[in-house]
Chain A
Amino acid sequence: MSIHTPHPDLPPPVTSVGAIGWLRNNLFSSPLNTAFTLFALYLLYETVPPLIDWAFISANWSGDTREVCDANPSGACWAFVRVRFDQFMYGFYPESEYWRINLAIGLLVALMVPLFIQKFTRKGLLAAFILIAYPIIALQLFAGGNFGLESVETSKWGGLTLTLILSAVGIVASLPLGIVLALGRRSNMPIVKSVSVVFIEFWRGVPLITVLFMASVMLPLFLPEGTHFDKLLRAMIGIALFQSAYMAEVVRGGLQAIPKGQYEAAEALGLSYWKSMGLIILPQALKMVIPGIVNTFIALFKDTTLVLIIGLFDLLAMIQTAFNDTNWLGFSIEGYVFAALIFWVFCFSMSRYSQALERKLHTGHAR
């Protein structure tokens, strides 16, 4: 009796594995898909090589005058951005004082780093320091006037620095206000609740630009005669009020996601309202909405560009101003692309961070 010996396994057909198999599955699985792929390839062929050629290969990187760029008009003129780089970053801040901005931002980064280290345990304390003490230090550095630092008026603040200041102030001021509003909206007291609802719906219902108009035109009317109010501060107030309404809705989402048992347990322990909120509910709710808060922050970061309409010089406004330089007329595309790149890097990395957080915090809260 012969022993049955099975044939050795044949390798899978070459057309279903490896590069060919991948191509067949993902790009050419049906006639329609093939058509789509060819169309997309054509589209990429038409757009990507010229773009790369413009932005990198034929681009003019060096030089201090426009002659270099005029000699080679088929490439991007990055020399324009390079010459203006300091102004894009620091606005009209005096050049000898740039170190103060650098120091403030370096300090912030240095303070933030431990927050992302898992083993560091005193995160709460550090966060409180960043939220309360750091703004005072930064204000001293930016505005000057004390400790022998030269005073710099806010009208000279500008560029990316101003964008960062506006968004940082917006987030720091709007978070506590948003939490209070969210608690108010969930309150049992009818008047508190309706005041919060009206406040939130009002700010959410109007465009930011009208809020900024209101802050710059109407705020001086509301205040007693002779009160001088800094233009930057007025914009900050407008942005903070506007943003707090959005923040309130994000926090409310977190409050609603906390199971009712948590509220009842806190009450059963005899905790007062503020204790049960501060010790039981808010820590859980805020943790849950961190991604939402980051998303709000991204929206805020993009919205700060609107201050250029009321005459503040943020990054976009500085770029817009640079186009009027008679020595460098006609390089608007380069300027906008540079600004877009900066905003994109900030927003994209924040949104990736928020998505990563969402996955990390997704620990069975969702029901």
Chain B
Amino acid sequence: MAVDQNTDAVPAKAALWRRPAFRATVFQILLVLGLVAFGYYLFQNTLHNLQLRGISTGFGFLSYEAGFGILQSLIEFDETHTYGRTFLVGLLNTLLIAGLGIFFATIIGFVMGVARLSKNWLIAKIATVYIETFRNIPLLLQIMFWYFAILQPLPGPRQSLSFNDSVFLNNRGFYLPGPVFGEGFNIVFAAIVIAIVAVIFLARWARKRQEDTGQQFHTVYASLAILFGLPLIVFFIMGSPLSWEYPALKGFNFKGGIVVIPELIALLVALSIYTGAFIAEAVRSGILAVSHGQTEAAYALGIRPGVTLRMVIIPQALRVIIPQLTSQYLNLTKNSSLATAVGYPDLVAVFAGTTLNQTGQAVEVIAMTMGVYLTISLTISMFMNWYNKRKQLVER
């Protein structure tokens, strides 16, 4: 057996290419070079192709006149406005549907999630059927169902379904009475803001007093009284500066009031029902994640059921629910881009649709659209990370 003479000396270093650090460096350099070369290749091709088609690059097109109208706009818009403004209109419409969708989906989700855990067999089964049905049908199908199968075949304005002669539903949309703010309403609005600030200070004071003296204060009732009382009193002092404008049939269509276009209704109903089913599952898993021992321990300490729910169960369940809830909100926002299938003028339909087709600026338009969604989702995931850090279980 040959004995290596060098065994007790310092072991020889491995060959350069066998050292992990060296390999890692080489590999990463190769990766960067490859990516840069690939990017350069794509860039050159794109430039060449754009030149070939006579499309100029850059964001100059944003200041050109758009020349098309948009079905629904939260800000003033007509044909003479710029392409840049179409971006803004689309973005606002996306935020509108996302906000409304999140509001309704949360309500549906929490009700259904709790109902699925109900001790009432019938209620629990109905909630289960709802969740399992709508979770397993593609969202796009649901949106199209509501739009093409339910809302489109509705009667026209003259035969519209009406409720109490103030709310109308027909194939042009949903007509609601709209508020008309009279003179002095801004003072009422100021009262609402003051009430909110007052409630925040009241809650802080009550908590501090409880920590210092142990005395409790009826924060909830007092807050409700301030929140509703103060604005109402101011409202009547100012002489009720609010009236309602009712929609009325004039010619071929309704005039006045608030119009909710059918595209928005279909999208909103489908998004809320679909996301609501997912939120219900998140809520259920959150509540189930709190072990039964927690409830029993709280009862053993003599804490009343309502307080147990509020102070023991819900805070622990929220730890599980909130991250899932945020990711559902994010999904809802991204899914709202399916609006383009029914023609609701959201960011994708207006900007990545009409504007892109008219200008041909594919690269810029798609980059801007993706940028918006990326910004939203990165902001939300940053919030999530912050929340998770804050709420992490601190164990011994």
**Footprint of B on A, CB under 8 Å?**
26-27, 29, 33, 36-37, 40-41, 43-44, 188-192, 195, 201-202, 204-210, 213-214, 217-218, 220-225, 298, 302-303, 305-306, 308-309, 316, 320, 323, 330, 332-333, 336, 339-340, 343-344, 347-348, 351
B120 and A191 form a contact (CB under 8 A): no
Q: Is the CB of B337 closer than 8 A to any CB of chain A?
A: yes
Task: List the 9 shortest-distance A-B pairs measured between CB atoms, nearest first.
Answer: A347-B136, A26-B121, A205-B377, A207-B334, A302-B138, A191-B28, A207-B337, A332-B149, A205-B374
Residue of B nearest to A32 (CB): B120
Residues of A within 8 Å of B373, CB to CB, are 205-207, 210
Chain B residues whose CB sits within 8 angstroms of the CB of A43 once the complex forms: 126
Give the distance in Å from the alpha carbon of A206 to the alpha carbon of B368 in the complex.
Answer: 11
Q: Is the CB of B341 within 8 A of A309?
A: yes
User: Would A209 and B337 be within 8 Å (CB), given that A33-B120, A323-B148 are in contact?
Assistant: yes
- Residue B250, interface by CB 8 Å: no
Contact in complex: A348, B136 (CB < 8 Å)? yes
Are B133 and A213 in touch, CB under 8 angstroms? no
The reply to whether A210 and B48 form a contact with Cβ atoms under 8 Å apart is no
Complex contacts, A44 vs chain B, CB 8 Å? 126
CA of A5 to CA of B17 in the docked complex: distance in angstroms?
Answer: 93
**A214 nearest in chain B by CB position:** B366
Q: Identify the closest chain B residue to A344 (Cβ).
A: B136
Contact across chains for B377 and A340 when beta carbons are under 8 A apart = no
User: What is the chain B residue whose CB lies nearest that of A346?
Assistant: B136
Determine the chain B residues whose CB is within 8 A of the CB of A320 once the complex forms.
144, 148
1/0 contact trace for B141-158 toward A, CB 8 Å?
A: 110110011100100000
Contacts of B340 in A (CB 8 A): 209, 309
Residues of B contacting A195 in the complex (Cβ-Cβ under 8 angstroms): 31, 35
**The residue from A205, A209, A339, A340 contacting B348, defined by CB atoms under 8 A apart:** A209
Please measure, in the bound complex, the distance between the C-alpha atom of A179 and the C-alpha atom of B238, giving whole angstroms: 66
The count of residues in chain B whose C-beta lies closer than 8 Å to any C-beta of chain A is 56
In-complex Cβ contact of A188 among B24, B32, B341, B378 (8 A): B24
The interface residues of chain A lying within 8 Å CB-to-CB of B137 are: 302, 340, 343-344, 347
Within 8 Å of chain A (Cβ to Cβ): is B248? Answer: no
> Which residue of B136, B144, B362 is within 8 Å of A217 (Cβ)?
B362
Complex-state Cα separation, A303 to B338, whole angstroms: 11
A residues near B32, Cβ cutoff 8 Å: 191
A222 x B46 contact (CB < 8 A): yes
| A305 and B120 in contact, given A195-B35, A209-B348 (Cβ under 8 angstroms) | no
Determine the distance from Cα of A188 to Cα of B49 in the docked complex, in whole angstroms: 39
Residues of B within 8 A of A36 (CB): 118, 120, 122-123
Do A218 and B138 touch across chains, with their CB atoms under 8 A apart?
no
**Bound: A298/B122 CA distance, A:** 28
- A201 adjacent to B378 (CB under 8 Å): yes
Q: List 18 A-B contacts (CB under 8 A).
A: A26-B120, A26-B122, A36-B118, A37-B120, A37-B123, A41-B122, A189-B28, A210-B337, A221-B50, A221-B363, A302-B136, A308-B140, A309-B338, A333-B150, A336-B145, A340-B137, A343-B137, A344-B137
- Which residue, of B48, B122, B132, B145, has the highest number of chain A Cβ atoms within 10 A? B122
Q: Report the minimum CB–CB distance from A51 to chain B (whole Å).
A: 12
A69–B270 Cα distance when bound, in Å, is 28
Can you name the residue of chain A whose Cβ is closest to the Cβ of B24? A189
From known contacts A36-B123, A225-B49, infer whether A205 and B378 are also in contact, taking CB-CB under 8 Å.
Answer: yes
The residue of chain B having its C-beta at the shortest distance from the C-beta of A217 within the complex is B362
Considering the complex, which residues of chain B in the window 92-147 have a beta carbon less than 8 Å from any beta carbon of chain A? 118-123, 126, 132-133, 135-142, 144-145
- Starting from the known contacts A332-B153, A347-B135, 15 additional A-B residue pairs (CB-CB under 8 Å) come to A26-B121, A37-B122, A40-B126, A205-B373, A210-B352, A213-B352, A213-B356, A218-B363, A224-B48, A302-B137, A302-B138, A305-B141, A330-B153, A332-B148, A340-B142
CA distance A350 to B96 in the complex (A): 34
B201 at the interface (CB under 8 A from A): no
Neighbouring B residues of A225 by C-beta, 8 Å: 45, 48-49, 52
Give the nearest-CB partner of B126 in chain A: A40
* Set of chain A residues within 8 Å of B378, measured between Cβ atoms: 201, 205
The distance from the CB of A248 to the nearest CB of chain B, in whole angstroms, is 15
Interface mask (B294-307 → A, CB under 8 Å = 1, otherwise 0): 00000000000000
Partner of B366, one of A37, A210, A303: A210
Contacting residue for B49 out of A191, A221, A343, A344, CB 8 A: A221
B268 to chain A, nearest CB (A): 17
B122 touches A306 (CB 8 A): no
> CB distance A217 to B121 under 8 Å?
no
Min CB distance A164 to B, Å, is 14
Q: How far is the CA of A189 from the CA of B23 in the complex (A)?
A: 10
The CA-CA distance from A343 to B373 in the complex, in Å, is 28
| Assembly CA distance A22 to B126 (angstroms) | 18
Closest to A350 in B: B136
B370 at the interface (CB under 8 A from A): yes
Residues of A within 8 A of B49 (CB): 220-221, 225
Given contacts A37-B120, A209-B338, A333-B149, whether A217 and B140 have CB atoms under 8 Å apart is: no
